Structure formats: structure tokens, C-alpha cells
């Protein structure tokens, strides 16, 4: 592993220099990777593995939308695409990539299909860490490993195709074969990771649940709505409110942050913007810190897990979800967003 200075803290990371794709192929040459679930993470990871020369099959409920998507992506029923249990029996690495609620529902069937010395692979620590709620307790005769890409399944694929890769964490919960370390790093590189950093199942799920409820999704959506509503209340047009709240952030400023950091983004803006941001950032930090403290406690206590499992396991979950998403989609803010996006040059040129 390479030692990297992360703001004064030295951490170990694994890059392609320490663990090359060729080495990953050698480690996995006798493995069959069964990707169970073809929803969010499944397609990106399966296709990247396939393109990198790894023997990969997909397990999915037969005849559904995800099954058909796998067929459209080139997986062949009876050859590289099978019902879940058949794929799990055939795989020596079982990538368990169903939704968290789906993992709970399918676990008894999948557990029965695991063979001694298999590797049970997760991309989220949810099922293992909250096993008192999920019931997911692996047998002792398999490796239990994790590779968690720091992005959506779609980004796992698009970053792979453009050659950039995506950062991912990795962890080992159980090393039965003595090969869990090389297996997990090989799989991390084979799914297209830019680099890998070590964690634990517990730290991965605690940071992930906090992040997606916080800055990455929940907090972001909430503060956008608050600012947009404020501007509209004071007479600003929908297009102006949306541009100042979302469009400038996503199309300009966040890209500057991604390139060289927040300080560089500040330095690239006007002196008026710099002064205001420097003055107000601590006030926003102090205002939301109690909310984040409450959120983190809710995560580590298992309260968030219970909420997810209860909500996602109801028969009408999808119907309720669509209604909630439609509220966002049909709000003035995001209808204004659709209009703004349609005016981007690349979208206008396609008409």
C-alpha cells in the first residue's frame, strides 16, 4: 500500500501501481463472479468486470425489468444470466448487490447456495453491521469482504468508460481462506476503482448512511429548497432562483472544487463572493452541526436501519416512493430546473 498524507493524517491506499489490473486478473483467473442483483450497483460492476476480462455471471429474478436490462447489456440467459439461486451456486465470488431490504428477503436462499471457500462480497456494510435486524450472518467457511464505490452505480460505469475510475473503500469481515485480502483488492481494481482505501464494515456503513442523508443528498436537497423558496418569496423569478441555487453550483462551482479544492474555488470567484462565503460559512457550519450530531447518533443506534427496513419492505413501497419522488419532480423548483436544463447548448443542439 502507498502512504498518502491526507491533511496531516497518513493513510494507506491501494492504487494500480501497488495492485495492477494484470495482478487482479491473475488472482481472479479461477473465480466465477456471480453478481446478485442488477439494479443500482450491479450493472456497473458487472459490466466493468466483464470488460476487464473477469468471468462474470448475473443472478436476477427472471423476466423482470432488471432481467431484461441485463439481457440488453449482453448477458445471455442460461449462459451468463441465471435466476438468483442458480447464479449463487455457480459463483465462487458472490457479489450480494440487492437492495438492503432485498438482501434481507433473499438471504436464506442465497446462504443455502454458498459453498465452502466462496467469497461473499458486499458493497455496503448494512446487512452485516445491523445483523441483529437483518439476520444476515454468514457461515464461517466463507470469506466476507466489501468493496464500496464512492458513487452511484451509474458513475461506476461512466467513470470506467472515460478512464478515470472511481474511488472505493474495502474491508474484510471474515478471512476464512487466508486469501480474503488479495481477493478484495483484486475485485476492487477489477470493478474499475481509481484507488482503494481500507475501512471496516462498521465505518463504511456509518459514514455512508450519514453522508447520503447529509451533504450528499438530504442536506443538499434541503438547503437548495430553502434558498430557492427564499428567493421566490422576495420576488425573484423561477429561472433566476434556480440558476443562483442549483445551476451555478452544479455547472461551475462544484467542478472547481473537484479540480483543486474549496480554497481554489473561493480564489477563482470574485472578491465579493469570497468575502461573503468566508463570513457566512462558519454560521452555516454551526447551525447544522447539531443536526449532523443527531443524524450520526440515529445511524449508529440502528434507528435509520429500522426505518429503511420497515419502509422498504411494505408491499406498496414502490407506489409510495413514486409519490414522494413526484412531489419533488413536480415542485416549481425542479420544473424550473427542467426548463433551465433544456436551454443548455448541448440539449438545444439535439432538438
114 grid coordinates: 454458498
Q: Distance of alpha carbon 188 from its chain centroid, rounded? A: 14
CB 13 within 8 A of CB 6: no
pLDDT computed for residue 350 by the predictor: 60
Instruction: Please identify, in words, the CATH class of the domain defined by 211-348.
Output: mainly alpha
Using DSSP, state whether 62 is helix, strand or coil. coil
Q: Is the pTM of this model over 0.85?
A: yes
Check 124, 173, 176, 206 and give the catalytic one. 124
pLDDT computed for residue 349 by the predictor: 66
Q: Is 124 a catalytic residue?
A: yes
CB 153 within 8 A of CB 192: no
From first to last of the 351 residues of the chain, give the pLDDT tens digit: 788 888 888 988 999 899 999 999 999 999 999 999 999 899 999 999 999 999 999 999 998 999 999 999 999 999 999 999 999 999 999 999 998 889 999 999 999 999 999 999 999 999 999 999 999 999 999 999 999 999 888 999 999 999 988 899 999 999 999 999 999 999 999 999 989 999 999 999 999 999 999 999 999 999 999 999 999 999 999 999 999 999 999 999 999 999 999 999 999 999 999 999 999 999 999 999 999 999 999 999 999 999 999 998 888 998 999 999 999 999 999 999 999 999 988 887 665
213 grid coordinates: 442523508
The phi and psi torsions of 53 (rounded to 5 degrees) equal 85, 15
> In sequence order, what are the residues at sequence separation of 6 or more whose Cβ sits closer than 8 angstroms to the Cβ of residue 260?
none
Q: How far is CA 171 from CA 31, 83, 143, in A?
A: 19, 28, 11
**Three-state secondary structure readout of 76-101:** CECCCEECHHHHHHHCCEEEECCCHH
CA angle 61, 67, 70 (to 5 degrees): 140
Map grid coordinates 493524517 to a residue. 9
pLDDT computed for residue 289 by the predictor: 98
pLDDT computed for residue 351 by the predictor: 54
Name the residue among 205, 197, 145 with its Cα closest to residue 18: 197
CA angle 39, 175, 198 (to 5 degrees): 65
Distance CA 68, CA 77 (A): 10
Distance CA 168, CA 150 (A): 5
Helix (H) or strand (E) holding 193: strand 193-198
The phi and psi torsions of 33 (rounded to 5 degrees) equal -90, 115
122 forms beta bridges with: 146
The phi and psi torsions of 159 (rounded to 5 degrees) equal -65, -35
- When the candidates are 3.40.50.720, 3.30.465.10, 3.40.309.10, 3.30.2310.20, the CATH number that belongs to 2-199 is 3.40.50.720
Distance CA 187, CA 170 (A): 10
pLDDT computed for residue 151 by the predictor: 84
Domains of the chain by residue range: 2-199, 211-348
pLDDT computed for residue 165 by the predictor: 87
Q: How far is CA 312 from CA 214, 272, 341, 345, in A?
A: 20, 46, 32, 39
Amino acid at each position: 500500500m502507498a502512504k498518502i498524507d491526507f491533511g496531516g493524517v497518513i493513510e494507506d491506499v491501494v492504487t494500480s501501481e501497488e495492485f495492477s489490473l494484470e495482478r487482479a486478473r491473475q488472482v481472479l483467473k479461477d473465480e466465477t463472479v456471480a453478481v446478485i442483483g442488477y439494479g443500482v450497483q450491479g450493472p456497473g460492476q458487472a459490466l466493468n468486470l466483464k470488460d476487464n476480462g473477469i468471468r462474470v455471471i448475473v443472478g436476477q429474478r427472471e423476466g423482470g425489468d432488471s432481467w431484461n436490462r441485463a439481457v440488453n447489456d449482453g448477458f445471455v440467459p442460461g449462459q451468463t444470466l441465471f435466476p438468483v439461486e442458480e447464479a449463487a451456486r455457480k459463483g465462487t465470488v458472490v457479489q450480494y448487490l440487492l437492495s438492503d431490504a432485498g438482501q434481507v428477503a433473499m438471504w436464506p436462499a442465497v446462504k443455502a447456495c454458498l459453498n465452502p471457500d466462496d467469497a461473499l462480497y458486499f458493497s455496503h456494510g448494512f446487512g452485516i453491521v445491523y445483523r441483529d435486524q437483518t439476520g444476515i450472518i454468514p457461515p464461517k467457511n466463507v470469506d466476507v469482504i466489501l468493496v464500496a464505490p464512492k458513487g452511484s452505480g451509474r458513475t461506476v460505469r461512466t467513470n470506467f468508460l472515460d478512464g478515470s475510475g472511481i474511488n472505493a473503500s474495502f474491508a474484510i469481515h471474515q478471512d476464512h481462506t487466508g486469501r480474503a485480502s488479495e481477493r478484495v483488492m483484486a475485485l476492487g481494481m477489477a470493478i474499475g476503482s481509481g484507488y482503494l482505501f481500507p475501512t471496516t464494515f462498521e465505518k463504511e456503513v456509518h459514514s455512508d448512511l450519514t453522508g447520503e442523508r447529509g451533504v450528499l443528498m438530504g442536506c443538499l436537497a434541503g438547503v437548495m429548497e430553502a434558498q430557492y423558496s427564499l428567493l421566490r418569496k422576495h420576488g425573484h423569478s423561477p429561472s433566476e432562483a434556480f440558476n443562483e441555487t442549483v445551476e451555478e453550483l452544479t455547472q461551475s462551482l462544484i467542478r472547481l472544487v473537484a479540480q483543486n479544492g474549496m480554497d481554489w474555488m473561493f480564489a477563482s470567484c470574485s472578491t465579493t463572493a469570497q468575502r461573503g462565503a468566508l463570513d457566512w460559512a462558519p454560521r452555516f457550519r454551526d447551525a447544522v452541526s447539531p443536526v449532523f450530531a443527531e443524524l450520526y447518533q440515529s445511524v449508529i443506534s440502528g434507528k435509520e436501519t429500522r426505518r429503511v427496513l420497515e419502509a422498504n419492505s411494505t408491499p406498496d413501497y414502490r407506489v409510495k416512493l413514486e409519490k414522494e419522488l413526484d412531489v419533488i419532480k413536480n415542485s416549481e423548483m425542479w420544473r424550473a430546473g427542467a426548463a433551465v436544463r433544456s436551454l443548455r447548448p448541448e440539449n438545444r443542439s439535439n432538438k
